[in-house]
Structure formats: C-alpha cells, structure tokens
Structure 1
Amino acid sequence: MSAIRGFTLLACLAFPGLLLAGDKDGQVEAEMDATLLYLAERDALGSFDQPLTISRPAQVRYELGAVVDVRKPDPRGLEVLAITPDGAAARMGLKTGDRLVAINDRRLDGQAAPAPLLLDAVRKGHGAVRLLAARGKSRIQLTGQADTTAIPAYQLTVGDAASRHASGCGYVSYSAMPPASEGLFESFITRIDGRSTPARINLLRVPAGRHVLTVQELIPEHRLSASQNLQRRLMQRQSMARAYKTLVVDIKPDTDYRVATRLHKDRLDRGSIRANEYWEPVVWEQRAIRCR
C-alpha cells in the first residue's frame, strides 16, 4: 500500500527529524541521524565534495487526520481508508468508507491528480476545511479546521567545504595496485560519509578528521574458483549495496590513504562467502602528499 498516503498536508517540504519541539536526551540528533541515513541509502545527498545546503522559512503543517486513497483519480471521489481518533476529520464527522468529492470547492472526482489538489486546497484555506463527501447514496457537507503544527525556520549544511581549509585536508585513493602477494586487491570507494563519490576520480580530497568510506571489493574472478565466484555473485545479487563494507579512516593533513581489499583465504567456504565474510576493506599504504 505504498501508493496510499495519509492526508498529511504540508505548506512546504520538511524533514521529519526537524518536527521536534526540543532536544530531550539528544532526540533531535537521533532523528536527524536517522533522516540522513535514509537519504544516504537512496543516494539523495549528492556528491561528497560539494556542500549541500537546505534552508526553509517557518512553515505550517496541516493534518486532517485521515488516510485517503490518492493513487489515481476516481469519478466517485477519493475513498477514506482510515480516520485518526480525535483528529480533525473525526471531529468534523468524516468516517471510514466515505468518499471525498470536493474540498474547499476543489473537485476531487475529476481526472486531475488528486494529491496536489488536496495539498493546494487546504494550504490556500489556511487550514479551514469544507468537505463535500459521499456516504452511501447520500451527499454530506462537513466543515472544520485542520490540526496545525508550527515548524521553525532552519538551515542544514551537509559536507561543509569551508572546514577543509580550517583544519587542513588529505586524500583517500584506490587506484594504485596493491600487492596481490599479500592478499590485497583493488577496491572502489563508492561513498564518503554517506555521499556519492564522483566517477573517474580515484584521488579524493577530504577534510582532515574522521571519515566513513563505503567500499566495494574488486577481487579478480581468477583468484577464486568457479563455485566460489558463483556464491559471490549470488550474495551480491541478493545483498546489492549491502554487499559493500565501511571503513573508518582518521585523515591527517597532507596524507594519502590508499584503500584496498584484503581477501581472507581461510573464509572461502560457501557459508562465509554467502555471509560476505571473505573480505574486508583496509588502508594498505599511507604516503605524504601536499593537499591544497
């Protein structure tokens, strides 16, 4: 039912982690971490080397307290799937099974996409709601006020580039050939601190300090047997991005940290490969390099 959405009306876009009234026991930080994790997993934070700044003025969130089927237009109106107890819709008398035909004189039984109509109608009404609904063979009119929540203005910067020059910078890289005789093979750094790395750049500048690298192993197939490669492909197909691993690196200024894949030859049985335990990302070499 992912296409069925609750009738929660926002005057503007807002992160869920910012809808908190206070920071009791670090709740804001915990919610923000969860929100950034959600965005990072979907590659929504952009490139790690470009700061991302999001700012919004003060907003108002309008909630009717009803779950409405807005997957597609319906000439009978939009079906009400659930009602929040003590919410605005319940106070107005709306019931599960009713169909919304119009809201604030905006028709919902036509061919236009219903979700934008709902949002726009309540926003322009500043939370005042006039509903025309179908209940069985009857038409009913309901009026009331949507519940509101004030959202303060905010500005969020992810990956502030200014900090690079304040504390120096270094590099992480993955292009140099690691010594295969030591069980080390090439890797690919897919993300830094949850943000995607640019294509075809394998010497990546980062601010000095702690960073979390997401690493993909690139062990050549000829280093494994046919059955081992089969198990690896099955694991990667099933796990997808979860087949990658993270590596925490404390970057010192003017230093390049070369990343590789270490193959664990004692963990090449079927169970270990399917559990993704046959390798780990490592820093195999550090070298001095001027960063500017």
Structure 2
Amino acid sequence: MKVIGFCSRMGTLTALTAALCISSAAVHAAGSQGVVAKVPSLAAQGNGALGISPEQRLHEELRLLLLDMIESGAFGQTPVEQISLSIDAPAERAGGLGLLVDSSSAAAAADGLHVLGVTPGGSASRMGLRSGDLILAVNDVGLAGLGADSAGRARAAERLREQVSELEDGAALNFRIVRAGEQTTVSGRMVSTWIPALHLTVGSGTAVASAQDAQGSSASSNLGCGRVSIFDVAPRQRDLHAAALISIDGDRSPFAGQTTFRLSAGHHVLKVAERIDGRYLGFNDRLRNSGPDSRYKTLSIEVAPNTTYLLAARLNKDQRNVWQDGAYWDPVIWSETAEACR
C-alpha cells in the first residue's frame, strides 16, 4: 500500500512520526509499522475531542507515539534517561490528495493502481475517486505496466506521486479510471497545504539517534547558527530537484539519513551531488557518472544567524543533453526561511 499526497489532515503528525522513526538509531520494522498504523486512530480521537487546543492534541499524540516506540523496542536497551532526539525540518509543502493505493508489487499494479481508500473530505474524495476504482492514468500519464522499483514496490505509485507533487496549486488534475467495468474520467484542481517548520527535542540525555550535532564544533560559534536543509520539497516546475550533501567545509561524516545540518553563522563551502530523476535528462547514467566533475559541485554560502537555507540541484534545461563537466546542473539555495537556531 502507499499513501499518496501525505493523505489526511494528520500531515503534521505523519511527518513527525516519520522523523522520529528515521532519527531512532534502532527502529525495528514491526515497531515502526505499528506506529504508523496507530496514527489514523489517534487522529480520529483528536478530531472528536471538543475544546482541545492544537498544542494539547499534539502533546497527547506525541506521548502515545513515544510510548508505542519504547514498547516496540525502537530505542533498544537505551535507558529512558539517556534517550535524546533532536529533529529539525523546514516548512514543507504537503499535497492533500488523500488517496491510498495498492503499491505492494508490480503485479498488483500491472493494470493500473487499485484504490484501497480515500480520506473523507480530501481532494481525491472531492474529485469523486472511490475505493475500488482502478486508476489507468493521471493527466494523460499512464500508470499501467510500469514494473517495480528497487524495493519491489509498484513503480506506478511513485509515478503518481511525482505527477501530483509537480503541480502548482490550482492546476488541473485528471484521472482516467475504470469503475464497475467501464472507463470514465474524474477531475478537479490540485490543492495542497504547508506544514510549518519543525524543531523538536525529546529527552535530555546523551544523543543516541540524532545526527544534528555532527557539526557541533562549528555550530557552537558565538556568532550564532543557521541551518542548511536538503529535505526535498523543491518545486519541479522551477527545474529544481533533490540534492545530496557530500561534505561541509571538507568534513564528510556522518551524513547518512540526515536532511538538516546546523552550521555556525559565517562562510561555508558545501560539496553537493545532484539527485535528478533520470527521466529529466537526455543521457544515461553511465555518462552521468563518468567523471568527478559531473558528480560533485561546490557551493559557497554565507550563513546568517537563525536562517534555514533550502538546498537543491537546478536542472539547466538548455543543457540537459550535455553531461560533460556536469553542465546540465548546478547546486543552488532556492529558499531562505527565518527560523530560530539554538
């Protein structure tokens, strides 16, 4: 199964759940699945409770989420007094499609994406999509027979997510579907929302799961600090794509799984790699990775205190066929957001 568009009004908690699971050094698969399974029920309880502020609701749901993680063994044998998580994420655009499809395997989506459910009141529901529908195409992009991704899941679900995420708010969204054995079309307009920037600290012990302090020495400057984020919310319609951070001022480690990097205010040099989907390029991966000049580029930035910088790879469309010297792309800071750093 796959939820398209971050599904429901639980976007903030869903993102928070994902961040907690990723940040935990020893999350067990069964435990993390259990956490995700409980999110909708917690949302239903919160929606039904009258007179509860957003802060109270988030606090209660976070408490239950942490309890589930501890009981499922997500923190291993770490004593509770030593558990410490530090999670930072920039403001994030979250599509509100609210659509659950079967992406379990290529076979499950051989004829298209089967709709398992829709969120009541969500965009998919308002457009008329229903459980049991078979989606053949979105905006004339076919979804049948696309095979499996590297993890064995239906590639069609990722194709649908890409098509939806690239649309601007208000853009037309058309689904060609099969319902009750007959083809028809349902349509509407793309609607999304923004999840605010997140700064969360859990516990007060020695950090066992957070990589946010990897740059601790540079972040301790008396000049203050800012952040650089590679969290991929870059708008494709502006030719902006995902990027990976290879090094900061020559320091390469540890970056695995990390999306936000705290830096001292001042000058920094970033070594960046592009993560542009191959379908946007006019050459194959062999040429793409044929030399270091095409794989990595450097970007110098001046970090201001209490500012988060969003990093992306910009596709130079007029040179999308030119792989030599990496002419087809450049690293860019595409957004700056005022956000407290401490």
Q: TM over 0.5: same fold?
A: no
TM-score of the superposition, structure 1-length normalised?
A: 0.44
TM-score of the superposition, structure 2-length normalised?
A: 0.38
Query: Which structure has the larger Rg?
Result: 1
Q: Structure 1 or 2: larger strand share?
A: 1
